[in-house]
């Protein structure tokens, strides 16, 4: 359990008693957690544990049956526009239109979020993600790694304070992985908050300083990296995951 007291101004993402059921079986049961600004939290769990569902609820894509989520104090359901403006979403799909070029995709996102200094921000992100040379290429012909970079650029364009990432490491090669981790680290260093889900214990532990394990919709473990032994955790998690199959 997080023992330090948290000031409300420090809270970037607050999940309160969220429950969700799609059919008779509940996917999330009374899940609560509070994420402080400037921290990265990793959510582990086997398939079906409810990780993606929780993330989608946090992003405002799904409505919880009970409970609420706030981004920097703004409830996602009651003040959706203010909350979503502060959110960036990276999912395992790139959310890019295949027929549009990289530049057009970014311009579209900038307009969706009404980014004021659109041209400047786009150039900045093209440089940061190394997509400059590909700006006139249609998203349909990009490789998986490049598409992921486009997804990152898309997510960071409007300078969000909270980044939600659903399995961001899937299908990336070593170079792309290192690049992504670098971007995450920079983001956190600049005061942003990350909430990601992943299967990969090693990568998750590298990026994040807090781990949460979700099992059948319930929080099984919620500790900072300092409180656990990373090596043992990785082993234990692996054997736990195997035992669930």
Partner 1 sequence: MKSAWSGFKAIVIKDLVIELRARQVLPTMIVLGMLIVFILRLVVEPSSGRAEMPMMAAAALWIAFLFSGLLAQERSFGVEQQNGCIDGLWSAPLDAGTIYLAKLLANVVILSIFEMVIVPAVLLSFSLRVTGRWLDLVIVLALGNLGISSVGTLFSAVVQLARTRGALLSIVVLVVLLPMLIPASFALLVLFGAMPEEVGGSGTLAFVGSFRAAQGYLLAFDAVFIVACWLLFGVVVKE
Partner 2 sequence: MRRWFMALAIVMLMLSTWLGLTKGQIVPVQRNILYVHVPNSIGALLCFAVLLVASVAYLITDRQIYDWIAAAAAEVGTVLASILNATGMIFSRAEWNVWWTPSPRLVSSALLWFLYVVYLILRTSLPGSPRRRARICAVFGIIAFLDVPMVYISARFIPDIHRPDFSFESSWQSLALMLGMVGTIVLAGVLIWLRTDLLRRRFELENRLHD
Say whether residue 22 binds partner 2 (CB under 8 A). yes
Q: CA-CA distance, 197 to 36, in Å (whole number)?
A: 17
Interface with partner 2 (CB under 8 A), residue from 8, 9, 25, 245: 25
63 is a contact residue toward partner 1 (CB under 8 A)? yes
Q: Which of 31, 42, 89, 106 binds partner 1 (CB under 8 A)?
A: 89
Find where tokens 């940061």 sit.
128
Which H/E stretch holds residue 35? strand 26-36
| Closer residue to partner 1 (CB): 59 or 172 | 59
Binding map of partner 1 across residues 167-186, x = CB under 8 A, - = no contact: --------------------
Q: Is 5 in the site for partner 2 (CB under 8 A)?
A: no
181 interface partner picked from partner 2, partner 1, none, CB below 5 to 8 A per type: none
Q: Select from 10, 30, 75, 82 the one that contacts partner 1 (CB under 8 A).
A: 82
Distance of alpha carbon 33 from the chain centroid = 15
Cα atoms found within 13 Å of the Cα of residue 143, Cβ hemisphere only? 8
Contact 50, 215 (CB under 8 A): no
- Cα distances from 214 to residues 19, 125, 220, in angstroms, run 13, 33, 6
Stretch that binds partner 1, among 110-118, 173-181, 194-202, 214-222 (CB under 8 A): 110-118
From the list partner 2, partner 1, none, which binds 37 (C-beta under 5 to 8 Å, kind-based)? none
User: CB of 74: closest distance to partner 1 in angstroms?
Assistant: 11
d(CA 86, CA 162): 6
φ, ψ of residue 76 in degrees (nearest 5) = -70, -30
User: Shortest approach of partner 2 to residue 62 CB, angstroms?
Assistant: 11
């Amino acid at each position: 359990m997080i023992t330090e007291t948290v000031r409300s101004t420090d809270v970037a993402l607050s999940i309160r008693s969220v429950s969700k059921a799609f059919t008779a079986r509940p996917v999330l049961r009374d899940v609560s957690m509070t994420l402080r600004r400037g921290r990265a939290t990793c959510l582990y769990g086997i398939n079906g544990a409810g990780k993606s569902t929780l993330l989608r609820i946090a992003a405002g894509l799904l409505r919880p049956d009970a409970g609420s989520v706030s981004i920097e104090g703004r409830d996602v359901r009651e003040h959706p526009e203010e909350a979503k403006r502060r959110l960036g979403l990276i999912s395992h799909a790139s959310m890019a239109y295949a027929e549009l070029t990289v530049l057009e995709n970014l311009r579209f996102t900038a307009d969706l979020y009404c980014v004021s200094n659109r041209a400047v921000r786009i150039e900045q992100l093209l440089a940061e993600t190394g997509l400059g040379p590909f700006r006139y290429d249609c998203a349909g012909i990009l490789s998986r790694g490049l598409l992921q970079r486009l997804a990152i650029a898309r997510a960071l364009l409007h300078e969000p304070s909270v980044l939600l990432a659903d399995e961001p490491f899937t299908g990336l090669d070593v170079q792309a992985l290192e690049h992504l981790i670098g971007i995450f680290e920079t983001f956190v260093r600049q005061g942003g908050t990350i909430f990601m889900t992943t299967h990969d214990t090693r990568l998750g532990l590298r990026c994040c300083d807090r781990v949460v394990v979700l099992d059948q919709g319930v929080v099984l473990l919620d500790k900072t990296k300092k409180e656990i032994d990373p090596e043992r955790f990785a082993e234990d998690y692996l054997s736990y995951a195997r035992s669930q199959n």
